[in-house]
Structure 1
Amino acid sequence: MATYVLIPGMCHGGWTFEPITEQLRRRGHRVYPMTLTGLAERSHLLNATVNLETHIQDVVNLLVAEDIEDAVLVGHSYGAMVITAAADRLPERVDSLVYLDAMVPRDGDSCWSLVTDQERQWYLDVAETGYVVRPLPFFDTRATGHPLASVLQAVRLTGDLGRFRRRDYVYATGWDGESPFTTFYQRFQADPQWHAHALDSKHNLMRDAPEKLLAILLEDR
């Protein structure tokens, strides 16, 4: 039995993993689909102080409070920033990392520094508050604004991802136009220490390719 901690991308809650969560639990695994502070059903907690560090601490606190060991941390898009740092803080509690169409940061990187100019234009489309990135029109109707500070703040890492038993990168090939994650996929496809996968799917792999994604999540667990 594995323990999966599922971290969504910008503007989304743990419910974005519903198709995967149900299937993993049916197979006897422990699954924690997280909603980060200030998002979705926790949007009432959003204020100007919520940042990347807040979200990292969300995951760290869960791992400790639930006494999770050998966790499989799964991060979609922005969620990959969070799982990378959480694993760096508590490597003894993490077995493997799964990146779902996501950026993979090094020390000092931020979402802002890793994405394309098109993505940056979206980040700067803030709501009237000045600190909330608006959800895009095609997002799930449950999506809410995302804290701008979390995509601007640089991540601080002290160790190497090679510490973890397994690392998977899952790339979505169905983008309309250029994917901001192509360079990551190409890097890990050429690295024998990574398991790189390409799925015929749009960015929301959980919704558009759940069966193929489930097979990857279950591989060697």
Structure 2
Amino acid sequence: MKIVLIPGACHGAWWFEPVVDDLAARGHPAVALTLPGLCERAEEQGTTLAAHVADVTAAVAGLGEPVVLVGHSYGGMVVAGVADALPGQVVGLLSVDGFAPRDGDSCWSSVDDAMRAWYVDASGRSGTGVDPMPQFDSRTTPHPLASLVQRIRLTGAYRGLRHYALAADPAWVPHSPFPAIVDRLRTDPAWTVTDLPTTHNVLRDGTGPLVGAIEALVTEVDRAG
């Protein structure tokens, strides 16, 4: 079983490197992927949500083994689409302070007005990419606007384990668009919700909280057989 990690908007696989290393040290093989149109793949075509889902679906299918998917922020939208496309191969899904879409949802339709304002204002320079927020790492690159407004199409094929890790630091929660999503998931028996003592940058103070959430899902997958 392999863990596949998808980063959030503007970020690449480099963001997850310390998590991959820590998981490997604990005996959990993991790989992080950069989406087309971002970071070292910035010049690649295919920058819609559907293209991102298709790209990761092909990568996961090529692994030829059961997979646990982890998506941070925007990555939650992508892993939902991949799980729907590969329900027999994906054995667990974790959205980390991100999206947990239903059919027809988009990032645009799922966030609050403050996040929509970022999408619009930060894409004004190029018209196609949402520039990183000022506090982001210098390695970040503009995020394809099309992927944030396109609606996801889900068949409901995926019936595996679903976990959600909410960044619940009191300094972040008042500004977060995600508690409204979690309010729905807390009453859904298909989901297990965990609160993390972090801000949206769940790696700010180290990998421990995120690695713990991933290991909790892996343990449940193992128990489920």
Tell me the TM-score normalised to structure 2 length: 0.90
Give the SS at the match of 2:53.
helix
**SS of equivalent to 2:11:** coil
SS of equivalent to 1:61: helix
Q: Does the 8 Å contact 1:8/1:79 carry over to 2?
A: yes
1:4 aligns with 2:3: yes
Is residue 201–residue 209 contact of structure 1 (8 Å, CA) maintained in 2? no
Q: Distance in 1 between matches of 2:173 and 2:183?
A: 19
Which whole-Å CA distance do the structure 1 matches of 2:97 and 2:23 have between them?
20
Query: In the alignment, what sits opposite 1:157?
Result: 154
Report which stretch shifted further, 187-196 or 113-122. Answer: 187-196
Q: Which moved more, 1:190-199 or 1:73-82?
A: 190-199
8 Å CA contact 2:85–2:157 kept in 1: the answer is no
1:103 is aligned to 99
Moved more, 179-188 or 145-154: 179-188
| Counterpart residue number, 2:112 | 116
**Aligned residue number for residue 217 of structure 1:** 214
1:170 aligns with 2:165: yes
Contact 2:76 2:95 in 1 (8 A): yes
How far the C-alpha of 1:105 sits from its partner, in A, is: 0.7
Q: How far apart, in 2, do the equivalents of 1:127 and 1:18 lie?
A: 31
**What is the distance in 2 between the residues matched to 1:100 and 1:180?**
13
What is the RMSD of the two structures over their aligned residues, measured on CA atoms? 1.6
| 1:162-184, Cα deviation, whole Å (9 max, x unpaired) | x10x2111001231733100022
How far residue 207 of structure 1 moved from its aligned partner, in angstroms, is 3.4
Deviation, 1:209, is 4.9
Query: What is the identity, as a one-letter code, of the residue corresponding to 2:67?
Result: A
What does the per-residue CA deviation read over 1:127-160, in whole Å, with 9 as the maximum and x for residues that have no partner? 5331010000001111000100000100001015
Residue deviations 1:24-50, cap 9 Å, x none?
A: 1112222110000011111122x6x52
Aligned to 1:87: 83
Deviations 1:56-111 (A, max 9, x none): 011111012222x3210001010011000111011111001001001211111110
Q: CA offset at residue 212 of structure 1?
A: 2.0
CA contact (8 A) 2:173 2:179 kept: no
Offset at residue 17 of structure 1 (A): 1.0
Q: Distance in 1 between matches of 2:198 and 2:32?
A: 21
Aligned pairs (5 A) from 1:1-221: 2-45=1-44, 50-67=47-64, 69-124=65-120, 125-159=122-156, 161=158, 163-164=159-160, 166-174=161-169, 175=172, 177-219=174-216, 220=219, 221=221
Aligned residues: 215
Residue 88 of structure 1 aligns to a residue whose secondary structure is: helix
2-structure distance, mates of 1:193, 1:150: 26
SS at match of 1:207: coil
SS at structure 1 position matched to 2:138: coil
Q: 1:195: Cα distance to partner?
A: 1.7
5+ residue gaps, structure 2, are: none
SS at match of 1:21: helix
Deviations 1:177-216 (Å, cap 9, x if unpaired)? 3310002222223334322111121101133352122112
Inter-partner Cα distance in structure 1 for 2:164 and 2:103: 19
Unaligned segments of structure 1, at least 5 residues = none
How high is the sequence identity, in percent, across the aligned residues?
44
The answer to whether the 8 A contact 1:19-1:207 is kept is no
